[in-house]
Amino acid sequence: MKKSLPILALAFAFSAGPVLAADPDFAKDIAPILEASCVKCHNSTKSKGKLNMETKEAAMKGGKEHADKFIIAGKPDDSMMIKSILLPEDDEEAMPPKDKAPRPDAAKIALLKAWIAAGAKWPDGVKLKVPAADAK
C-alpha cells in the first residue's frame, strides 16, 4: 500500500488542472495597455463619448452610453470595454478606432479580461498618463 501512495498523489496532482497564474498587476500589465490604446481619446480634456479613462472613478463610471456596464468587475464578457475591443476593426463601434491608437493584440486582451475577471482592481489615486502629444 505504501508504494501506491506516491502514484496516487501524482495522479491527483495532474488531475487537479493547471495552476492559476496571479491576477494581472494594474501598474505593470493593465495601465500600459489603457495608456497606449484608450487614454488618448478618453481623458479629462478629450472625452470621446463622455468617457474618461484617466482615473478609476471616471473609468468605472463609464461614458454616455452603457455607463454602468463599461467595466463590470468579475464579468469581462459583459463589460462594454471588452465587447468594443473585440468588434471587427471596420465596425464603427470598434475601439480603439484603427486610425487613432493601436488595437490591443490577443495577449493584451487576455490580460484585460483576466483583470476584469479578478475584480478590475485599480489602486486608489492612480491616474493614467495621456500620451504627451495628445495632452492638449
pLDDT tens figures, 83-118: 999 999 999 999 999 888 889 999 999 999 999 999
Of the candidate ranges 43-47, 63-67, 78-82, 109-113, the one whose mean pLDDT is the lowest? 63-67
Every domain of the chain and the residues it spans: 23-134
pLDDT band at 69 (very low <50, low <70, confident <90, very high): confident
Q: What is the pTM of this model?
A: 0.79
- pLDDT tens track for 3-33: 444 443 334 344 333 344 679 999 999 999 9
pLDDT of 124 over the 90 cut = yes
pLDDT attached to residue 134: 53
Angle at 39 between CA 37 and CA 40, to 5 degrees: 80
Average pLDDT of the residues of the chain: 84
32, amino acid identity: P
Contact 51, 70 (CB under 8 A): yes
Q: Which three three-digit cell numbers place residue 113?
A: 479580461
pLDDT attached to residue 133: 66
- Provide mean pLDDT across the span 60-77: 88
Beta carbons within 8 Å of 24's beta carbon, 6+ residues apart? 30, 111, 114, 115, 118
pLDDT of 135 over the 70 cut = no
Residue indicated by cell numbers 487613432: 100
